[in-house]
Amino acid sequence: MSTAINQITMTPAIYKTITVTPLTLRVGAEIGGIDLTRELNATQIAEIRAALLEHGVVFFREQPIDIATLKRFGQRFGELHIHSSRKGLDEHPEVRPIHADATSKHVAGEEWHTDLSCDAIPPMGSILHIHTLPPVGGDTIWASMYAAYEALSDRMKRYLEGLTAIHDGEDAYRGTYANYGVTDKPAYPRAEHPVIRTHPVTGKKALYVNRGFTRHLVGVPRDESDGILRYLYEHMENPLFQCRFRWRENSIAFWDNRCVQHRAMWDYWPHTRSGNRVTVAGDKPF
């Protein structure tokens, strides 16, 4: 059995139905002893949720699930979120295909980002199943924004407290998916969120700005904003805050967008990497 953090009380607990092996001290863990192709009971779901809260991102190996099972698994953690800017599968709009091959001009997530932080209510979590892999490469890196916040100086924490930032999908999405036959929308989501976000379950503080969507701080001169954001981006990309996951066929990653960022490595062109993703609806950052 493995020790854990209870999702409600945040006190030590014991995993009875899964094993949890941390990848690093700060972020990431691999979950074993569970078959996601089967219907899960309430205890299993609660323990997966607890592991996610403790580690920020959790991984599963050898899970040959289909699209219906991926959706069902995601729905055990909340309502599924429909992507505001990218079309899902025709018969499953909640499911977003993640695919890159020799014809790709862009791949999803090749820059550090938090999923859809440009939305007024960004998703809580994302679940990605990869079924086709290149012969080498294609890893994904996650970084703990708890660790990034905690490593800031007290003076920088005081400066950032109460600041908000504009997150905008315009630059991230316009023209990005033309090679997939996706027509641009007249406008893309834009939202204002706190620079320091409080996790609604753990109560811990995390940095909540990212290269992919954050455009500027509110209420400070633009050159000051640019300088502060540049520092924060470089700071939060410190390898000490990270874990790196090497995918295998039918691996699954489930991450908490409220406290981690990630980056997909596109180092395998012209080979193919393919899978499907669902996101779980979240709450307004505070």
Strand partners, 274: 99, 132
- For residue 171, the surrounding DSSP H or E stretch is helix 170-173
CA atoms of 283 and 200, how far apart (whole Å): 8
Q: Closest Cα to residue 241, out of 153, 140, 143, 111?
A: 143
- Strand spans (E) along the chain: 2-5, 12-15, 19-22, 29-32, 57-60, 80-81, 96-100, 125-132, 140-144, 164-168, 190-194, 196-198, 205-207, 214-217, 242-245, 251-256, 260-264, 273-280
CA atoms of 47 and 6, how far apart (whole Å): 8
Q: Which burial class, exposed, middle or buried, applies to 256 when counting CB atoms under 10 A from its CB (0-12, 13-18, 19+)?
A: buried
Angle CA 201–204–205, to nearest 5: 125
Cβ neighbours of residue 234 closer than 8 Å, sequence gap 6 or more:
none
Catalytic annotation on 248?
no
| Beta carbons of 87 and 182 less than 8 angstroms apart | yes
Catalytic annotation on 193?
no
Pick the catalytic residue from 115, 119, 168, 256: 115
Pick the catalytic residue from 83, 199, 273, 277: 277
Does 270 sit behind a cis peptide bond, omega within 30 degrees of 0 on the bond before it? Answer: yes
DSSP label at 241?
G
Pick the catalytic residue from 113, 129, 216, 273: 113
- For residue 49, the surrounding DSSP H or E stretch is helix 42-55
Catalytic annotation on 92?
no
Catalytic annotation on 106?
no
Measured torsion, CA atoms of residues 243, 248, 93, 259, in degrees rounded to the nearest 10? -10
Pick the catalytic residue from 199, 262, 263, 273: 262
Catalytic residues: 113, 115, 262, 277
